[in-house]
Chain A
Amino acid sequence: DTAVSQTPKYLVTQMGNDKSIKCEQNLGHDTMYWYKQDSKKFLKIMFSYNNKELIINETVPNRFSPKSPDKAHLNLHINSLELGDSAVYFCASSQGWGPSNQPQHFGDGTRLSIL
């Protein structure tokens, strides 16, 4: 069984559209994350939820809205997609939130391409 699974794996869409990426973890973890890896391969944290509560919210356009319906799921909705949103988006989870309660387990990523 995949520990952290993301859907879809590939997403190709037009500029201006709205899309969602889903993430589910079956590890029983309390904390989930979204990261963005751009074309230069820099990996940056976007959001983190602990027990469905938002704990990290980086400087991300408000077109990006995370939603955590329960501890096992963290979805990412993106409105009015722009060319610069093209990237690989990784979901991750960890047992808890704190200095030693990680490590984080990552999904295989969603490759988003904006035409």
Chain B
Amino acid sequence: DAKTTQPPSMDCAEGRAANLPCNHSTISGNEYVYWYRQIHSQGPQYIIHGLKNNETNEMASLIITEDRKSSTLILPHATLRDTAVYYCIVSTSGTYKYIFGTGTRLKVLA
């Protein structure tokens, strides 16, 4: 079973920030949080990952709570091309494998 829970769907207006939440209450101290997205049926695309500090790259920002039990992916200015399924993943200790959940289907509206 996935170690994360996400809302099944969200809408966001084009040009606005999209804030996608993720709960990972059973995360262990050395486990990273990863975010990917899948546009249509293409291969998942890596977005960002972090351990405990907030992270930012050219695609998004990742905010991780101090207790590390939840995180938020922020797309600062959503465009129509950001419409996709977004997956929050915590890789399992030991095997470091990804267990994908059902993700959040983000729809960016014009």
B48 closest partner in A (C-beta): A103
B60 to chain A, nearest CB (A): 13
> What 0/1 pattern do residues 96 to 107 of B give for CB contact below 8 A with A?
111110100000
Contact A106 B44 (CB under 8 A): yes
A residues bordering B, Cβ < 8 Å? Answer: 4, 37, 41-45, 48, 55-56, 88, 90, 92, 97-100, 102-109, 111
Cβ contacts under 8 Å, A109 to chain B? 41-43
- Interface SS of chain B: helix, strand, loop or mixed? loop
Cβ contacts under 8 Å, B36 to chain A? 103
Interface size of B by Cβ–Cβ distance < 8 Å? Answer: 25
Known interface pairs A43-B100, A45-B97; A100-B32 also in contact (CB < 8 Å): yes
Known interface pairs A106-B45, A109-B43; A99-B97 also in contact (CB < 8 Å): no
> What 0/1 pattern do residues 39 to 60 of B give for CB contact below 8 A with A?
0011111100101000000000
> What 0/1 pattern do residues 75 to 98 of B give for CB contact below 8 A with A?
000000000010100010101111
B38 closest partner in A (C-beta): A43
Set A42, A98, A104, A111: member contacting B98, Cβ < 8 A: A104
A-B contacts besides A102-B32, A102-B96, 5 pairs, CB < 8 Å: A45-B97, A97-B96, A99-B30, A99-B91, A103-B46
Contact B102 A42 (CB under 8 A): yes
Cβ contacts under 8 Å, B96 to chain A? 97-99, 102
Contact A90 B95 (CB under 8 A): no
> What 0/1 pattern do residues 12 to 35 of B give for CB contact below 8 A with A?
000000000000000000111010
Known interface pairs A56-B95, A97-B96, A102-B96; A43-B44 also in contact (CB < 8 Å): yes
List 29 interface pairs A-B (beta carbons < 8 Å), by A numbering.
A37-B41, A41-B85, A42-B102, A43-B44, A45-B97, A48-B97, A55-B95, A56-B95, A56-B97, A90-B43, A90-B44, A92-B43, A92-B44, A98-B96, A99-B31, A99-B93, A99-B96, A100-B51, A102-B34, A102-B49, A102-B96, A103-B36, A103-B46, A104-B44, A104-B46, A106-B44, A106-B45, A108-B42, A109-B41
